[in-house]
Structure 1
Amino acid sequence: MTVRNSLKFALAAPLALALAACGGEADGDAEADVIAPIEAPEGANWTDTVTVSESDGYVLGNPDAPIKLVEYASHTCGGCANFSQTAKPSIKEYVATGVVSFEQRNLVRDPIDLAVATLVRCGADENMQVLSDEAWNYLPQIFENVQQNSAAYEAAGKAPVDQRFIGIAQAAGLIDFFAARGLSADQQRACLSDTAKIEAIADNSSEQANELKITSTPTFILNGRKLDAIGWNDVEAALQRAGARQE
């Protein structure tokens, strides 16, 4: 989804953002042997280790973990917000073993989503998933802000490209929200006016969605295979079948 098409879609129906949960491929593999924990390098902790993948995703944990879990997520997706709230503490327990890594990738659905995706990447790499989780907790207020500021939101779509996402973020209440979490307003505006980076996020999302046939969020991929999973119980069962250590 390009920036232009993303804006056109969302400005036509700015609050019609819900997508059905993804139906992936059935995971019928036999249960693997449990994989022993892998120690982090001296002085490091896997739950504090973040790297950016070749797919422009943010990987939490051992980048060479034998079990690699990927979530394609949208920041305006209620199901993604629920997964963030219910699953992340447990995911970090698996990540801490060094056996599982968790990579978050963007599937961009609308300009608000793209603005949030830009802002969570605006600071240090290790803060991306943390800020994403906090933004998902704030999602109901984001929707309310857009409803209350609908004229400003629609006007942002007509602004010059380098000002467009600043206006969207302001209408959604994102500038104040992220400023309270360590990203200054000036820092945010610089990121939101960097059209090349914003285009890259949108283009990566579109290309990967087309390549992997991902049409909705959240979608989970485990060791390269799309899961038939819509929530943490299904995802955890797949991790354990793959050999993740069970406490």
Structure 2
Amino acid sequence: MRIALPLLPLLLLAGCGGGDAGSGNSGAPAQKVAAVAAPAGTSWAETVSVTPEGGYRMGNPDAAIKLVEYGSRTCPTCGQFGRDSVPALADTYVASGKVSYEFRDFAVHGAPDLAAGLLGRCGGTGPFFPILDQMYANQNAVLEKLQSLPESFQAQVQQMPPAQAVSLWAQQLGYIDFVKQRGIPEAKARQCLADQKGLEALVKITEEAADKVTGTPSFFLNDNKLDAVNWTQVEAALRDAGA
């Protein structure tokens, strides 16, 4: 697959704050959905799997209410949602078995998002959501580094092959040290950054959703796009759906 995404970030962070309004959270509230117990010895909040679409899903794979987020790890509005939704999304809604939550990396800011996404997936399903939460908790520090990089750096990475450029972005933004502190050895982190198939998979998610996702975060509830960009709005939609 040819990597077609721009390697330069949009330094004004355009594209954050959600896309066109949907209509998925309109109408009368649905009837309450019954809770579903997790298999013995497990919890739905710790049940994570990779979906055919390339996202990471937390919770009951057969949940009646399926929440999907297209998010950018460098988008401030996504970060605010991530911080505000902890712990209620996992501990209240997903844990009930009524709701599943899937996160799909959407590289609205090009290479910096690809770098963060590759490293966020590097540990597999177990640490995926904890690392996502911690990346959002640390987001302001990353954005400060992003905004302070000189134009010469951007010119430099623009001339590099995509995988090499993504690795350099990860280094400059502190993501390699970040995941090292969370149990991923540097050698493994660099291996993940150099994984061409992993890079292509992230690009594919963004390309395939580009016709319906015009900004981040974008939320879909049972395939209906929500007019929502923050946790208050998303939680209201979950309740209206019977959660």
Write the distance in 1 (CA, Å) between the matches of 2:145 and 2:72.
Answer: 18
Deviation of the 1:87 alpha carbon = 1.0
Structure 2 residue runs without a partner (length 5+): none
Residue 36 (structure 1) aligned with residue 37 (structure 2): no
Write the distance in 2 (CA, Å) between the matches of 1:25 and 1:147.
Answer: 32
Count of residue correspondences: 238
SS at the partner of 1:182? coil
Residue 16 (structure 1) aligned with residue 15 (structure 2): no
Deviations for 1:80-135, whole angstroms, at most 9, x for unmatched residues?
Answer: 00000001311111111000011101111121011001100111212112111111
Partner of 2:234: 235
Q: Provide TM-score, normalisation by structure 1.
A: 0.90
Residue 218 (structure 1) aligned with residue 214 (structure 2): no
SS at the partner of 2:102? strand
Write the distance in 2 (CA, Å) between the matches of 1:139 and 1:6.
Answer: 21
Partner of 2:178: 177
Partner of 2:130: 130
SS at the partner of 1:166? helix
Deviation of the 1:218 alpha carbon = 0.6
The question of whether the paired residues in 2 share the 8 Å contact of 1:146 and 1:153 is answered with no
- % identity of equivalent residues: 38
The question of whether the paired residues in 2 share the 8 Å contact of 1:65 and 1:100 is answered with yes
Partner of 1:114: 114
Residue type at the aligned position of 1:99: K
Write 1 or 2 for the structure with the bigger share of helix: 1
Distance 1:193 1:134, change over 3 A: same
Deviation of the 1:76 alpha carbon = 1.1
The question of whether the paired residues in 1 share the 8 Å contact of 2:5 and 2:203 is answered with no
The question of whether the paired residues in 2 share the 8 Å contact of 1:46 and 1:61 is answered with yes
Structure 1 residue runs without a partner (length 5+): none
Deviations for 1:19-70, whole angstroms, at most 9, x for unmatched residues?
Answer: 2432322222321111121000111111110011111111111011000011
Write the distance in 1 (CA, Å) between the matches of 2:129 and 2:166.
Answer: 21
SS at the partner of 2:86? helix
The question of whether the paired residues in 2 share the 8 Å contact of 1:153 and 1:168 is answered with no
